Amino acid sequence: MRITIDVDSNKELTTVTLPDDWGTIEISSPTSVKPAPVQLAMADHHLVGVNAVPEIADQVLDLQLNWDVEPEYLARMFEAAMSGIELDDARIPKGVISGVSATYDHVVAVLNVLGYKLTKQEAAPAKKRPAKARHRFDRKLADVPFTVEFAGAKATVFWRKAKEMEIAPGAQLRQDPAMNKDGSPSYGMKYGDKLRDDHSDAIDNFVTVKPVTLRSVNEVGLFLYYGDTNSWLQLVNADGQTLGEITEVK
């Protein structure tokens, strides 16, 4: 695995670029924490917090994700590793476990190279995990409408380019909040609301009034219904086929 490490000019931030355009890991001090899809707090190179920074932390690793995986489920895997317990697969839907597990393994491999440990014992997962499903863009799909109806959201979506998804005007957005069990806003809600704020000029009373362009299937799900499902399986064509099954690389 080849890893590129960039250090900014003020030497307060180290950026680790993951292979294959999977994203980056930004390493900084706890005093310069900023929002991130998944945040790992470290003390003496050991994981001590996930999406929370305890006082003992001396570094914070921000995982800036470019891949289509639900970050809240990825965070659950790091929480289980930090606690030294076996993750109950019931906490991650079957439709997303493959992608989340592969992403987790990929990031852990990079963290191991950098000398970080998820627990004081073994950082590696207890069982071999399946490979992440890969999807390939096909130009023939650029004008094919895919419909989605989930959690109160309804929309027609086009996969225009490899990294360009278009939501057609008239899409209905989920209105009820997506909360964690403790009553706090979920990551999906916070990220989804950010995307809605970015495209506020295209939304009127939870309905889009003009096309909305996003970068990935994952962003489409977060924008429409705050995620919490495998969006590749929610986008369906006129023949009942999901975008995932049509584009998955075997």
Q: Tokens for 156?
A: 């027609």
Q: Which residue has the tokens 């109160």?
A: 152
Say what the pLDDT of residue 11 is: 60
Low-confidence ranges of the chain (pLDDT < 70): 1-12, 20-21, 32-34, 66-69, 86-99, 119-133
Say what the pLDDT of residue 123 is: 42
Say what the pLDDT of residue 183 is: 83
Decide if 167 contacts 198 (C-beta within 8 A): no
| pLDDT tens, position by position, 178-221 | 888 778 888 889 989 999 999 999 999 999 999 999 999 989 99
CA distance 176 to 185: 11
Say what the pLDDT of residue 54 is: 86
Task: Indicate the domain borders of the chain.
Answer: 4-113, 139-247
